[in-house]
Amino acid sequence: MIANLAQGVQAFTSNVFLVDGERTVLVDAGANFDVVAAVRERVDDLNAVVLTHTHRDHVGNLEAVTDAFDVDAWGYDTAIDGVDRAIADEETVRLGDHEYVALHTPGHKNDHLCFYAERPGVLFAGDLIFQNGSFGRTDLEEGDRETLIESIDRVRERIDPDLEEMHTGHGPSVTSDPYDHVELSAQMARQA
C-alpha cells in the first residue's frame, strides 16, 4: 500500500509517501506539518526513511521522524546532514513488499534519486518529473537543465511503457498513462 501523507496539507511541503509492507518506509519526510502523527495514524513503526533528495521541503521533518521511530535516513550522499546510509546508483532497496532500483537522477539537485519497481510498475519520481509534462526546477543551487534532461531520458529509457503509477514530489500521483507524462516531460524540458 502506498499512501500520500501530505495530501490535503495546506503548508509548503513535499509529498510524503508511506509505503507499508514487509519493510515499511517513508519516501521523503516533508516539512511544515506533523508527519509523525500522520504516520502513527496508519502504522506503529517504520523501518527507514528513503529520500529522493535533500531540499528542505523534502527533509524539514526528517529529524522528527528519525527520532520518533529510531530509524535511519537513506539517501544518495551521506556527507549531507541527516543522511545516515548511502544508496548507490542502481542499488536495489525494498520499499514495502517490492524491490526498487535506485536511479541517480541529478539536474534538480545533485543528490536526487528516483526509485523504480518493474513489478508492480511503480516509479517514485521525486522532483524530476511531474504530471502533464512538468519537470523539476533547475534555477536552484545545483540545478542544471542539460543534466536534468539527461536524467529524464535515463528514467524514460529504463521504465516500462506499461508503468502503472508515478508518485511525484509535488502534486497528485499519476495512475492514468503515467509513461505518457514521462515522455511529455522529456519533450517539454527540451523546449523550455
Q: Give the residue-averaged pLDDT of 138-163.
A: 97
Give me the CATH number covering residue 134.
3.60.15.10
The total domain count for the chain is 1
Cα→Cα distances 93→45, 100, 147, 171, 179, Å = 18, 5, 24, 24, 22
3-state helix/strand/coil string of 127-173: CCECHHHCECCCCCCCCCHHHHHHHHHHHHHHCCCCCCEEEECCCCC
Model confidence, pTM: 0.97
pLDDT band at residue 175 under the 50/70/90 scheme: very high
Q: Which domain holds residue 129?
A: 2-191
Q: pLDDT at residue 192 above 80?
A: no
Residue where the block lists cell 546508483 = 89
- What pLDDT, in 10s, does the model give residues 93-116? 999 999 999 999 999 999 999 999
- What pLDDT, in 10s, does the model give residues 5-38? 999 998 899 999 999 999 999 999 999 999 999 9
Residue 94 cell numbers, joined: 525494498
Determine the pLDDT at residue 11.
86
